[in-house]
Amino acid sequence: QSVLTQPPSVSGAPGQRVTISCTGGSSNIGAAYDVHWYQQFPGTAPKLLIYVNNNRPSGVPDRFSGSKSGTSASLAISGLQAEDEADYYCQSYDNSLSGYVFGTGTKVTVL
Amino acid sequence: QVQLQESGPGVVKPSGTLSLTCGVSGGSISSSDTWWNWVRQAPGKGLEWIGEIDHTGRTNYNPSLRSRVTISVDESKNYFSLNLRSVTAADTAVYYCARWGGDTNWFDPWGQGTLVTVSS
């Protein structure tokens, strides 16, 4: 079972802003480990979207942004577009498990 | 630019061993400070980290799978492998390989993934 909790789904109209939370604990996000976000379209491999909490790889639109505070992190998508419909996963390291952990995943739907 | 490609049988019998390889191209598996990972995703479910290996053979495994998993590396052929023993239907998943480290301390890139079904 995942140790990072995300809402199963979020939705918004085109142009709106949506946020996805990623709630962890004292052995992962709260222990100052970095949080990364991945975007996954159906039938394809996950792709890096945000690295080290709030950095965008080259080619990722600036409407995607990340933040981290305490034992949680968030991904925000502003100016939501139809092409943003996908699953999103947060990821960090957990020192009690001595391994990498993923969030439960969030499906973004554009209304 | 590093690229990863998984290969292996698409069907494994219950109680058998799942064996996959991940070929690395565009770069060396012997790169320092780089770890080579396996991640899986059961149908309709989330991502689960399986384990990792570096070029010297050091490994780290998910505690929930440690008793059944072995990851190995072949530097001469530039690939690494996954063996998962005593499989059940719960091990049916898409298996991905991914790189961690080098100049990027996150999972990037990923292979395209390969579906393994446990069925008699």
- Among the partner-chain residues A51, A52, A102, the one whose CB lies closest to the CB of B49 is A102
| Chain A touched by B89 (CB under 8 Å) | no
Q: What is the mean pLDDT of chain A?
A: 96
B49 → closest Cβ in A34, A38, A101: A101
Residues 22-41 of chain A with CB under 8 A from chain B are 34, 36, 38
Contact B107 A99 (CB under 8 A): no
pLDDT of amino acid B61: 97
Contact by Cβ (8 Å): B104, B1: no
**At A56, which amino acid appears?**
R
> Which single residue is written with the structure tokens 């209304």?
A111
pLDDT of residue B103: 72
* Mean pLDDT value of segment B70-94: 97
Best probe of the A interface among B107, B112, B114, by most A CBs < 10 A, is B107
**pLDDT of B102 above 90:** no
What gap in Å lies between CA A33 and CA A27, rounded to an integer? 9
pLDDT tens track for A26-84: 999 999 999 999 999 999 999 999 999 999 999 999 999 999 999 999 999 999 999 99
Cβ within 8 Å of A, B 2-41: 37, 39
